[in-house]
Amino acid sequence: MTTLPPSPSNPNNTALALQRITKRFGAFTALDGVDFTLRPGEIHALLGENGAGKSTLLKIMRGLLRPDGGEIVCDGQTHSAFTLKDARTAGIGMVHQHFMLVSSMTVVENLALAEATASGALPGLEAATRERATAIAARLGWTIPWDNLVADLPVGTQQRVEIVRTLLGDARILLFDEPTAVLAPTETLELFRVLRTLREEGRSLVFVSHKLSEVMSLCDRVTVLRRGKTVGTVTIDDTNPNDLARRMVGSAEKHDLETSDAPAHPHPTEPAVTKAQPIVSFTKVSTKPRPMETALVDLTFSINAGEILGVAGVDGNGQAELIQIFQGLRAWQSGEAAFLGQSMRQMGVRERREFGVAIIPPDRHREGLALGLSVGENLALEATRQTAFRQGFWLRRRKLREFSQQLLTDYDIRTDRLSTLAGSLSGGNQQKIVIARALCGQPQLLIAASPTRGLDVGATAYVHRKLRERAAEGGAILLVSTELDEIVALSHRIAVLYEGRIVGIVPSNTPRETLGLMMGGKQVVGHG
C-alpha cells in the first residue's frame, strides 16, 4: 500500500487532463478555455489571485461543478460532463478550504460516514474504519484522537482528518484548496512533509495557493491562472518567485489602453503639491500579529494633496489590514497614523467621514451596499447622517431624493429609477453607487480598495477617470489593488507590500521587472 501501481491507462504520462475548460456564472466568466495537465506523482501548484478561478477549476476536477465547455481526460476516457461518480471512480479526493466535516460527530464517525456512503454495510463499519484509518495515520506519522468530537479539534488536526478521509477512499489524485491558509507556520511545514510523502507513494497532488514561497518550496510544476485564463505552466526549476508574481498580477508586455490616455504623471520629486503638510502620514505603524492575518510592520509613508499612492503586492500581504486601519475597524499597536496632522487613533468611523476620509471598500457586497434596499437609499446611506438632510426627528426626504437623483445623473448610474433594488443592478452600476457615495463629499483622502474588481472594461475606465479627476482636484488617494496594470496606470508613486512590510516606494515609471522583484520580497533602493 506504500506505492501505487502505475495506472495502466495513462500512456502519455498524464493522470488527469483538462482541456479548454470554460465555466460561466451568469454573465461572469470564471474560467475561459483553461488547459491543465496533471502528471502522475507530481505536486502541481495552481497559483493565482483571489477570483482567478482556482477553486472553480478544482471543483470541476472533483466533479462538483459542471463545465460549460471543454473536456476532461481521465484514465484514457474523455468526459464532457465529469460527475462526482466519475471523479470517485477515477480516485480523485479533495481537501476543501472549509472542511467538509460534521463538527458534532467524532472523528471516527466522520470517517465512517464517508465509508458508509461508499459501501453501504453498517455493522462493524466503525471498527473497520478505525483500523484502516489508524494504519494510514501511522504511515503519515500522525496520532489522531479518533473518539474526540471534530468541533473540539484544532484546525490543523481537522485538516489531517480530511486528508485521512480522502486516503481511506484510496484517492490517487488529491486536490488541496489553499490548505495552508488555516495553518500556523510549523503546521505548514508538517503538512508539506506529508504532501511529499504522498507524492513518493505515487499519488498526484494539486496544491492551490497564492503564496509564492510555498509553491517554490513544495511543488514540481506550477500553472498560473489570471482572471480565468491560463497564463502558463512551468517547471519549478525554470522559474522564480519574481517571475511567478509577475505572471499572477499581469504581464509586462500587455499594454493597457488606460495608460496611453493617462495624463503625464508629475514626477514625485516635483514640489508642486508638497508645499503643505501631507494629507496622511504613517510613521512606523505596526499591528499586533493575529492568527491567519498578516501583521503590518513599521509602515512609513505619506500622501500629499493631489497624489495617488498605489499599494501593489500579491494579495494577502497586509492589504486588508492596511485598509481596516483607515476604516477604523483595526487599531494599531505602535507608531503613528495621522490625518491632516491629527492622530487617527481618536477618530471614530463617523468623525473620519466628517473630516473628509472616504473609502471604497474592497468588497462592495459585504461593506459597500445594502442590496435589499433601493438605489436611492444606498446613495443616501451616508448623507442621512448629515444635519443638512435631517430636521429634528425627520429625514428631509425630498432633499435626499434630489441629492440621490443628482448623483444618479452625475455618476451615470444606469437605472430607470431610484426605487430599484440595488441588488438588481449590474456589478458596474453597483460599484458606481459606492464610488458616487465616496466621491460626492469631495474627500480630502480617498482609500480606493480594488475599485475595479469584477468590472468590465468600460466600467473600469470610468472608475479610473473618476479617481484621476479627484486627484486633479487636490484629493489624496491611496489605491490598493492587486492589479499591477491598474496601479501603474493611475499612481504617482507605488509602495510595494510584502509580508506586511513596505519593501520600497518607487515612482510609477519603475520597470515592471523591478516591481515584480519587489513583490517577491526583494529590497530595491526606493527614492520615494
Q: Which residues bind other proteins (CB under 8 A)?
A: 327, 329, 348-350, 353, 359, 361, 366-373, 377, 380-382, 384-385, 390, 393-395, 397, 416-417, 419-420, 423-424
* Residue found by looking up cell 503643505 in the block: 276
Q: How far is the CB of 380 from other proteins (least distance, A)?
A: 8
Q: How far is the CB of 148 from other proteins (least distance, A)?
A: 26
Nearer to other proteins (CB atom), residue 3 or residue 424: 424
Nearer to other proteins (CB atom), residue 85 or residue 366: 366
Q: How far is the CB of 384 from other proteins (least distance, A)?
A: 5
Q: How far is the CB of 441 from other proteins (least distance, A)?
A: 12
For residue 443, what is its C-alpha cell?
474627500
Strands 342-343 and 334-339: antiparallel
Q: Confirm if 383 and 436 have CB atoms less than 8 A apart.
A: no
Nearer to other proteins (CB atom), residue 107 or residue 358: 358
Q: Confirm if 144 and 161 have CB atoms less than 8 A apart.
A: yes
For residue 5, what is its C-alpha cell?
501501481
Q: What are phi and psi of 193, to 5 degrees?
A: -60, -45
Q: Confirm if 207 and 195 have CB atoms less than 8 A apart.
A: yes
Report the distance separating Cα 101 and Cα 107, nearest Å: 9
Nearer to other proteins (CB atom), residue 132 or residue 390: 390
Nearer to other proteins (CB atom), residue 296 or residue 438: 438
Q: How far is the CB of 366 from other proteins (least distance, A)?
A: 5
* Residue found by looking up cell 479627476 in the block: 469
| CB neighbour class for 173 (10 Å; exposed up to 12, middle 13-18, buried from 19) | buried
Q: Confirm if 95 and 162 have CB atoms less than 8 A apart.
A: yes
Task: Tell how far CA 94 is from the center of its chain.
Answer: 20
Nearer to other proteins (CB atom), residue 84 or residue 370: 370
Q: How far is the CB of 323 from other proteins (least distance, A)?
A: 11
Nearer to other proteins (CB atom), residue 272 or residue 395: 395
Q: In the beta sheet, which residues pair with residue 282?
A: 301, 337
Q: How far is the CB of 434 from other proteins (least distance, A)?
A: 10
Nearer to other proteins (CB atom), residue 453 or residue 493: 453
Comparing CA positions, the residue from 300, 211, 249, 188 lying closest to residue 521 is 211
Q: How far is the CB of 458 from other proteins (least distance, A)?
A: 21
Nearer to other proteins (CB atom), residue 423 or residue 528: 423
What's the one-letter identity of residue 221?
Answer: R
Residue 167's region, left for phi above 0, alpha for psi from -120 to 50, else beta, is: alpha
Strand boundaries in 361-439, DSSP class E: 390-391, 394-395
Q: How far is the CB of 104 from other proteins (least distance, A)?
A: 17
Interior/surface letters 416-446, b for 16+ CB within 10 angstroms, e for the rest: eebeeebeebebbbbbbbbbbbbbbbebbbb
